[in-house]
Amino acid sequence: MLYLDANVFIYAALNREDLGDRARSLLREVQQGKLHASSSALTFDELAWAVKKNRSLEDAVVAGGAFLNMPGLKIVEVSGELLASALELIKQYRLDPRDSIHASSALLEDAEAIVSTDEHFDRVKEIRRRTI
C-alpha cells in the first residue's frame, strides 16, 4: 500500500508537464487496481482549494468528485486519535500540521511509502518517501 500525499492529486489536476503526467499515470494505476493506495480526507480540501484557486469552482467540484469516487483509493478519516499522533510527529520532526496529518495517516495505514515531492517527509524515520 502506498500513501498518496495531496500534491500527487494537485499535480495530476493542474500540471501539464512531466510531473503532472507521472502523477496522472500513478493515479491510473490505482484506478486500474495495479497499485493499492490511500490518502487522507484532508487531501480533498487541499485538492479542491488548489483547483479553485488556479482554475474555477466548477473545476474544483469535478476534481473533488473524482477524488471521492476514485476506484482503488482508500480515504483515511481524520479522527482525534490520528490528530494526537500527528501532534507527536509535529513535536518529534518539526513538521507543519497538515504534513503531520498526512504522515500519521500513512503510518496508520502501514504504507510502505508516502508518495510526495515534499522532502520534509524525509525527516520522518518511520516511513520512507517516494517521489512521483
- pLDDT value of position 109: 97
Q: From CA 66, how far away is CA 43, in angstroms rounded?
A: 12
Number of helices and strands in the chain (H, E): 6, 5
CATH number of 2-130: 3.40.50.1010
Q: What pLDDT shows up at residue 80?
A: 98
Largest Cα separation within the chain, whole Å, is 39
- Cα–Cα dist 132/129, whole Å: 10
pLDDT value at position 7? Answer: 98
DSSP 22-69: HHHHHHHHHHTTSS-EEEETHHHHHHHHHHHHHS-HHHHHHHHHHHHT
Res 55: pLDDT? 97
- For the record, the C-alpha cell of 110 comes out as 502501514
**pLDDT tens digit string along 39-96?**
999 999 999 999 999 999 999 999 999 999 999 999 999 999 999 999 999 999 999 9
User: What integer pLDDT is reported at residue 2 of this predicted model?
Assistant: 98
Distance (Å, rounded) from C-alpha 42 to C-alpha 89?
Answer: 17
What rounded mean pLDDT belongs to the chain? Answer: 98
Question: What's the pLDDT band for 131 if we cut at 50, 70, 90?
Answer: very high
